[in-house]
Amino acid sequence: MALTALSGIAFAQTPKVLNGPNVARQATKVTEAEQAAPTKTFPKSDFTYRTLGKKSFLNKVGETQNDQQTNASIYRRVQLLPNGKVSLTWTTSGDPAPYATRGAGYNHFNGTTWGPVSSNRIDVERAGFPCYVYNPTTNEEIITSHIVKAGTGNAGGILMNRKVGVGPGNWTSTTVLDTTATIPGLLWAQTAISGDYMIVIGSYTDSSETQPNRVVKNGVRTPQVYSRYQFSTNTWLVKNACLPTYDNSRYYAGGGDNYSIDANGSNVAILIGGLTDDLSLYKSSDAGATWARTIIDSFPVPAYNYKTLFDTAFSNDGSVHVTLDNSGKAHCFWSRARVLDDNTDDNNVTYFPGQNAILYWNESMLVDSAKVIAGMPDENNNNELDLATSWNEAGARYGNHSIPTMPFAAISDNGIIYLTYSSLTEDDISSDSKNFRDVYCTFSADGGTTWSGITNLTGWIGINFEQVFPSVSKKMDGRLHLTFLQKTSIGRYDATNNPGAAGTHDIMYLVIDTADLTAGVTALAKYNSESFMVGQNYPNPFNTTTNIPVSFKHNTSASISIVDVTGKLVYSQSYQNIPAGNADIEVSLSNINTGIYFYTVEAEGIKVTRKMIVE
């Protein structure tokens, strides 16, 4: 089947070609293969859109010039600790590419204030891709990050950074799971603590240019491997071993960050995926001593090696997540992908970046029976998804990720499952016609049977901000604690495809009151204020005149400003002593071009921004 025909099936999107297994498995480079012009709109999704309520707050807690926080799946980066304290980590760098000072950033909230914002690292040498765990038995913070020596690309194993006590203090760094004379060191380690044990899942590098001694285990090249460390004996009981049944009968090669891990008591779960792989759950009930595998969603070609011809197949984009509830049941999430191989001679696979689905499965469900629970919502309720003309260019993407991606979940003590993810948003378009990303949330109060509408957690921050890589604390206190990277540019930095993404980016910490999420609060303007509410302008689209509905709790003064997609101010008006109650503010715009604009209502130091369309 021709690529041009398939692009019509896949929401009229442009397929992308990944050249070779090295590129596809690490999801770090994508070569454009334009087959048709992308369309502006997608069909309307089935997701109900809701906005964020009150009792939430945001802090900038760190900086970095390195915006690659993962290749695919999200690391555990933030943790609510005893006595209301919080610690978090991120990949930091105080200098631009190739990031000689790259490493694990760290900041801590002592219950009252955060430490100073910085881009400093805790590692003793160049590292990155940190994962945070807290050991309550030893009152110890542990951050693992992998070593890649500056200027060489050579992997050097994992730095295990440890510190007794939470907050400021001295870190001890030890190289573990390191390289030998013939085997490259492990990369991309994610960790979980199960009692006296720390379980690590990672992968070997697949860059033949810098690592000619490629690792092959169980017939799988550059495989995913696990390790098991015992705290009480300070011993690695297992080092870099393949999980049972992880072999070349179903796997051709591993890949960086195509996996997730969680532990709850003696139960440990590892979820492994990949663009051309099975989605497999490995489960242990004895703290990682023994394992059993369940293939949740099988890829049509076992051990696909880029030499097998197959028609369009659904898969996952490598961004997967698993979390365990208090009963030990695994809840699995992933972003749907779609791929095609129509030529066995070119060592390529084509993928379609426009998939709009976050899927969910738990151990009470049959295999291959996952359900779609979230995606990019129709925020302006115009019965279609508004995608700018350049939304899927190389510079607008993060590796091979789909439209909604980077799922990360947490489960409250009363069993409510909260899922966050990053998605393109309709309401924020760049001047070069790309969609910015926001962080969204959905929840289930019945163990995953039904799911709520979608809440935009970051849309209130304003236009021309990109929010990606959300990570949520496993612990809650009636609030979600999450961190994410915030940028003023779109897409991951690349010197060739996306040089405009260079710069200093913000590490943000956001607290969301779960009562607002579960109660369905829909007044975006209630963020940190009960004083006023702002509705969607009507009519919308409009030609010359439109009305903006507002509601004020008491007499106040306010201002309205309107900007175009470049941020140019086209309208500004102040209003004094607006009476309490509901009102419609009429706005007349003449002699301006058709297109998308953003109106901001400001009162009492609070700003609310929404999108309007002039036709």
Please give the DSSP secondary-structure letter assigned to residue 611. Answer: E
Average pLDDT over residues 149-176: 88
Which pLDDT score is estimated for 324? 98
Which pLDDT score is estimated for 357? 95
If you average pLDDT over each of 264-273, 555-564, 580-589, which comes out highest? 264-273
The Cβ of residue 398 has, within 10 Å, a number of other Cβ atoms equal to: 25
Q: Is it the case that residue 9 has pLDDT exceeding 80?
A: no
Tokens of 166: 């939470």
Which amino acid belongs to residue 571?
Y
- Angle 395-319-381 from CA coordinates, rounded to 5°: 70
- Looking at per-residue pLDDT, the higher value among 109 and 516 belongs to 109
| First-last CA distance in the chain | 39
Tell me the percentage of the chain whose pLDDT exceeds 70.
86
Q: Is it the case that residue 290 has pLDDT exceeding 50?
A: yes
Which pLDDT score is estimated for 225? 96
pLDDT band at 34 (very low <50, low <70, confident <90, very high): very low
Which pLDDT score is estimated for 210? 53
Render pLDDT for 12-31 as a digit per residue (tens, 0 to 9).
Answer: 344 444 433 322 222 222 23
Render pLDDT for 352-402 as a digit per residue (tens, 0 to 9).
Answer: 999 999 999 999 999 989 999 999 988 877 778 889 999 999 899 998 999
Least confident of 32-46, 393-407, 546-560, 571-585: 32-46
Least confident of 255-259, 311-315, 611-615: 611-615
Render pLDDT for 92-108 as a digit per residue (tens, 0 to 9).
Answer: 999 999 999 999 999 99
3 state SS of 455? strand
CATH of domain 532-614: 2.60.40.2550
Which pLDDT score is estimated for 52? 45
Least confident of 53-67, 74-88, 223-237, 445-459: 53-67
User: Domain coordinates of the chain in residue numbers?
Assistant: 49-526, 532-614
Q: Is it the case that residue 592 has pLDDT exceeding 60?
A: yes
Number of alpha carbons in the 13 Å side-chain half-sphere of residue 134: 20
275 with 400: CB under 8 angstroms? yes
Average pLDDT over residues 481-503: 94
Tokens of 607: 């700003």
Average pLDDT over residues 343-356: 87
Q: Is it the case that residue 533 has pLDDT exceeding 80?
A: no
- Angle 572-577-583 from CA coordinates, rounded to 5°: 75
Contacts of residue 449, defined as CB under 8 A and 6 or more positions apart, other chains included, come to none
Which amino acid belongs to residue 224?
Q
Q: Is it the case that residue 473 has pLDDT exceeding 50?
A: yes
Average pLDDT over residues 182-200: 92
552 with 578: CB under 8 angstroms? yes
Residue indicated by tokens 């810098």: 210
329 with 309: CB under 8 angstroms? no
The Cβ of residue 366 has, within 10 Å, a number of other Cβ atoms equal to: 8
Cα(356)–Cα(263) distance, rounded to whole angstroms?
A: 29
Q: Is it the case that residue 307 has pLDDT exceeding 90?
A: no
Q: Is it the case that residue 238 has pLDDT exceeding 80?
A: yes
If you average pLDDT over each of 61-70, 344-353, 521-530, which comes out highest? 61-70
Tokens of 574: 């102040």
511 with 528: CB under 8 angstroms? no
Helix locations, 10-120, DSSP H:
20-26
pLDDT band at 154 (very low <50, low <70, confident <90, very high): low
Render pLDDT for 395-424 as a digit per residue (tens, 0 to 9).
Answer: 999 989 999 999 999 999 999 999 999 999
Rg (CA), the chain: 24
Which CATH number does the domain 49-526 belong to among 3.40.720, 1.10.760, 1.10.287, 2.120.10?
Answer: 2.120.10
Render pLDDT for 272-286 as a digit per residue (tens, 0 to 9).
Answer: 999 999 999 999 999
Average pLDDT over residues 147-168: 85
Q: Tell me the β-bridge partners of 198.
A: 193, 229
C-alpha dist (Å) from residue 75 to 171, 319, 339: 20, 10, 25
Average pLDDT score, the chain: 85
- Looking at per-residue pLDDT, the higher value among 530 and 555 belongs to 555
Measuring CA to CA, which residue among 105, 121, 167 is closest to residue 140? 167
pLDDT band at 437 (very low <50, low <70, confident <90, very high): very high
Q: Is it the case that residue 525 has pLDDT exceeding 80?
A: no
